[in-house]
Structures are given as C-alpha cells and as structure tokens.
Amino acid sequence: MNDSSSLNVNTSNTYATVEAMITRCGTEDLVEITDTEAPYTGEINVVKLQAAIKSANSEVDAYLAKQLHVPTVLKSPFVQMMACDVARYHVALGNARVSDRDEKRYEMAVKNLKAVNKGEIGIGAGSAQTEAAPSINLAQMTSGRPSVFGNSQY
C-alpha cells in the first residue's frame, strides 16, 4: 500500500485517518505494525489500521466531549496528532508490540486530551479552521437601543 490515494476510506467525522497515519508514521512503520499475520503482504493492513483509528477517534471523543461537541475540531492538527498517536498505540497494543516510544506518545496524547477536557489548554485551531461548536449556548448581552438596520449602531 504505497499510495494512500488508492484507499477508499470515509474520512468524514474522524480525527485520525489512514492518510494522516501515513504522513505521521510513514508507510514502512505502518506495514511493520499492521502486517503481522500470514499471509504477509508487505503492505499496510488497512482493516487493522482502520479498527485502531476507529478506537482512537472514539477515545479522543470521550476526552473532548466534556468541553466540546463531538466529533468536532476535525481540522485541528493538534487533535489529529493526538488521535494518530493513540491509533498507533492501539495497533501496536493489538499486536503486543508496544515500544517505549509508542507508550510515551500515547501517554502524552492522553495527558494533552485530559488538559483539554479540564479546560487547561485549547485545541490549537481557530473556529474558522474547525467545525467546532461550543458545548453550551451563552446569551449575548448588549447595551443601548437596538438598531432598525441590525448593525447595533444608532
């Protein structure tokens, strides 16, 4: 699976994608951690990778749900990076081949997700770059007489 454009995967409502995983981890690395059962093909096992991505995206949603509507922030590179690290960990864990690097990346991703959940850090993307919606609706208060033309000027 050297060309990610040949993949027919649904990437809507997802943080990590097969394409993002290839960009972040590299094809060779993904082949090594997904092509672990006979018959060995020397290609990315997309079924295994997509299962890990689905689990990772669900885990990210679980952390972000307290502060944001999920799925959300789909275009945030920060959230995508964390989701890819979680997905890689899930693939490696499924093969009982978790390295120290995988463990550290996963722990850092979870630490960051918990910090977002607590409101300690943001997601690193402006609302114009995301499909984010606030988790609560706040009333907007204005002072003065409302304008007939709707521009709040007298």
Query: What would the pLDDT profile of 10-29 be if each residue is shown by its tens digit?
Result: 444 688 999 999 999 999 99
Q: Inform me whether the pLDDT recorded for 136 exceeds 70.
A: no
Let me know: does 89 contact 107? Beta carbons within 8 Å: no
- Mean pLDDT value of segment 70-86: 82
Q: Residue 68, SS3? A: strand
pLDDT score at 89: 95
- Mean pLDDT value of segment 71-83: 80
- Mean pLDDT value of segment 124-129: 50
Structure tokens at 85: 């690290």
Let me know: does 25 contact 37? Beta carbons within 8 Å: no
Which sign, positive or negative, has the C-alpha torsion 102, 4, 36, 113?
A: positive
- Mean pLDDT value of segment 95-111: 90
More confident residue, 30 or 127: 30
Q: What is the mean pLDDT of the chain?
A: 77
What whole-number distance in Å separates Cα of residue 101 and Cα of residue 32? 15
More confident residue, 142 or 32: 32
Among residues 44, 22, 42, 33, the alpha carbon closest in space to that of 95 is found at 33
The set of residues, in sequence order, having a beta carbon less than 8 Å from that of 55 and lying 6+ positions away, is 86, 87, 90
Let me know: does 78 contact 19? Beta carbons within 8 Å: no
Helix (H), strand (E) counts: the chain: 5, 0
Percent of the chain clearing pLDDT 70 (strictly above): 67
- Mean pLDDT value of segment 120-145: 52
Q: Which residues of 93-108 are buried (b: 16+ CB within 10 A; e: fewer)?
A: bbeeebeeebeebbee
